[in-house]
Amino acid sequence: MRGPHNILRLARTGATFERSGAMKVLLDAYEAPPLLRMAARVIGWPLQWLGLKGDPAMPPVPRALTALGPAYIKFGQVLSTRPDLVGDELALQLRVLQDKLPPFPLAEARRAVESELGLPLPALFSEFSEPVAAASIAQVHKARLAETGEEVAVKILRPGIERAFRKDVDAFYFAAAFIETLAPFSRRLRPSEVVKHFDGVVRGELDLRLEAASASEFAANTASDAGFRLPEVKWQQSARRVMTLGWAEGVSMGDNAALDAAGHDRVELGQRVLQLFLSHALRDGFFHADMHQGNLKVAADGDIIAYDFGIMGHIDEYTRRVYAEILYGFIRRDYQRVAEVHFEAGYVPPDRDVDEFARALRAVGEPIFGMDATRISMGRLLSYLFEVTERFGMETRTELILLQRTMVVVEGVARSLDPNINIWRVARPVVEDYIRQNLGPRALARDLKKTALVVARFGPRLPVLVERALVQQMNEDAADDHRRSRAWMGWGLLGLGVGGAFGALAVLAFQ
């Protein structure tokens, strides 16, 4: 499916941006130079007839992304949390992509529930509302359980969403391969692997049984987190394309006016949402990877309620420690240690200069400290970071893509609540606590205990395993010796053959 037919899909992407007016909005937002504007106009205008029309009632950029499909909508959701990158006005427009998309009909939703759960709708729910939220992949209905009368949220996948996403991701694969062919320097960033990672995440999001399992695990991990709670999974009313959760009542975290009217402290909320994310990522290695405002509410008692668990991130314990050391080094402005951690973890090729890398990191980190948060340009910072990674040959680490992306999203949520938030000051206590728990003497003792338990568990088998390893090594050595002897014999026979040939020529020459 990743053939040249995707050229039309990608051309249609550009044409849709031109036809909807989104191209001009983006060029204005980034203050594009006149030459670039002229080039975009000359190329885009004749091809705009290829573009999709979209919903004229929507602003240009959301209109284009919505017309292009769910993968593009997901991209827009991320940008909606970054007013520092796209501007306040465009970020506000993009928020309609989070949970205010056109719903599919109620009759289709009822049929989907009955088909998936195998019972008539009245036997499952005594009440079942019109859609209350519609996003790129699914929509949500408010309902009441027939058995207990409890209010619940019923999430249902959009009809045909699997095929639509497959088409979008297919075009992304083609674009990644095309970029790698035309621009070999881009292979360092491994665009094809990035798309593959995104593809895997999306496939998981399209099976609501996996989302229900993620919600259950996440709830168990965070049960003791103050000021944070999750809706309960209703397993008996959930299946592959339908998931039922307890109803979450609260104010959307994207509605600052409503938060203020309810008396919530937005500065404290901004700090809490950032610290909760870091705690989940570092402490548990399992975190909500789609924490935009559309998936967060604030309850009347001030608790943050998270929902929509289709995209969850997981990082192993070793990577968590590396990530924490890097963050801690930046917080302490110990750039030498940050550089050493990059080398120790293999993030930077060993043939590069660690001191030079530390100086480059200092140039990235120093502008962050001692400045008002509103004066820090994340766009310029990210641009410089890209230059640094390119110069030192760092490759994109696919296992960290989701963590890095979510960090960007959560930072955007925190800034939307408090534009003056100092990200590093808020992060410091969480990171320092993790460092104390996992990188000190207590952590060393805990690691030794784990190692001892593993050795004890395999103790009875160790002699057999060692014997097998030694026998295998001896067999490999014998095989190597045999190959070497055969090689020397071959070279010897070849030498004899060549010598014999020259001898024969000499005899013939003197006759």
Instruction: Residue 151: count other Cβ atoms within 10 Å of its Cβ.
Output: 14
Chain-centroid distance, C-alpha 24: 28
Cβ distance 72 to 168 under 8 Å? yes
Question: Contacts for 176-184 with beta carbons within 8 Å, 24 or more apart?
Answer: 177/2
Q: Give the H or E element holding residue 224.
A: none
How far apart are the C-alpha atoms of 187 and 24, rounded to whole Å?
30
How far apart are the C-alpha atoms of 285 and 320, rounded to whole Å?
7
Query: Which of 99, 199, 290, 418 is an active site residue?
Result: 290
Cβ distance 36 to 27 under 8 Å? yes
Q: In sequence order, which residues have a C-beta less than 8 Å from that of residue 236 and are 6 or more positions away?
A: none
Chain-centroid distance, C-alpha 20: 28
Q: In sequence order, which residues have a C-beta less than 8 Å from that of residue 497 and are 6 or more positions away?
A: none
Lookup: tokens for 263: 């008396």
Task: Report strand pairing: 228-229 vs 304-306.
Answer: parallel
Instruction: Residue 157: count other Cβ atoms within 10 Å of its Cβ.
Output: 21
Cβ distance 279 to 239 under 8 Å? no
What's at 448, amino acid-wise?
A: L
Q: Would you call 290 a catalytic residue per the annotation? A: yes
Instruction: Residue 364: count other Cβ atoms within 10 Å of its Cβ.
Output: 17
Residues carrying an active site annotation? 290
